Amino acid sequence: MNFTKPQTLKTISEIIGAKMIGDENFPVLGTNEIHRVKSGEIVFVNHPKYYDKALNSAATIILIDKEVDCPEGKALLVSDDPFRDFNKINTHFRRIYSFTEELHDLEVGDGTKIHPSAVIGNEVKIGKNCLIFPNVVIGDGTIIGDNVIIQSGTVLGGDAFYYRKLDGNFDRLISVGNVIIGNNVEIGNNCTIDRGVTDSTIIGEGSVLDNQIQIGHDTIIGKRCMIASLVGIAGCCILEDEVTVWGQVGMASGVRVASGTVLLGKTGVNKDLKKGTYFGPLAENFKDYLKKEIKIKNLK
């Protein structure tokens, strides 16, 4: 999430009541999760297992729960609860209205047709010659390109499924990101595409999605991908261009699938995949899978 104007380390420190380590005038440009964070942004970390990853990431401000040596050229915000304070920073600088107020600021391109039953949030941009079918829900900040078709019952911009366990209950990381749909995309009935926590969930130009597909927060779908029904893609995944995903595929969080890859039906993806055709509960090369099945069959 980019701030509308740069802030200082001192300003952020005062908002959350955290100890700052670094120049009080150190510039802060926004917040982000570690997989998308850039220079000038804050990332949070609240477990020693991930300290090194956060401290050595592209982030230049680390919101952390323990005072540690500060890397050169960076700054620290030391908090007793970085998860809570990350939420506090995000909601201070960006509010998600979630259809509770009639503010809108809607932009719609020429030739676009929106069914009257569609529900649209605030600061939404829809391009030219789009078709928005009945009962579509479009959340705050969504950006839709030209020549896009969104069929009935689909939800763009729901909250990320991102929680921690706190005092026996689930505590949500509040989503302040958005969804971006490229030109010439088609999305089927009853799909759900969650907005990013602090960045964008992106569906690339020319991609087509069947019915009943779930795409998690901050996931990036490349150009001209084809995804069949009942696919579940977790948050923070990257599908490069021209990937084909057949029905009931499940993908774990944070995996990357190379351009031109084919995932056959019911494949489970729990690791990064190079270009190829994959199948099986733990994705493996389809030819290798068939050879293994033949060997097993011949043992009988």
How far are the Cα atoms of 47, 256, 262, 276 from residue 283, in angstroms, in the given order? Answer: 30, 13, 11, 11
60: left (phi over 0), alpha (psi -120 to 50) or beta: alpha
Closest C-alpha to 21, from 93, 60, 70: 70
The DSSP 8-state label assigned to residue 273 in this structure reads B
> Residue 82 and residue 103: Cα distance in Å, rounded?
31
Asked if residue 219 lies in contact with residue 198, where contact means CB atoms within 8 angstroms, the answer is: no
Instruction: Look up 115 and say whether it is catalytic.
Output: no
- Catalytic residue from among 35, 92, 104, 217: 217
Positions of E strands within 188-247: 192-194, 200-203, 208-209, 214-215, 220-221, 226-227, 232-233, 238-239, 244-245
Structure tokens at 50: 């991930």
> Residue 22 and residue 218: Cα distance in Å, rounded?
30
Closest C-alpha to 196, from 158, 241, 250, 148: 158
Residue 253 burial (10 A CB sphere; 0-12, 13-18, 19+)? middle
Catalytic residues: 217
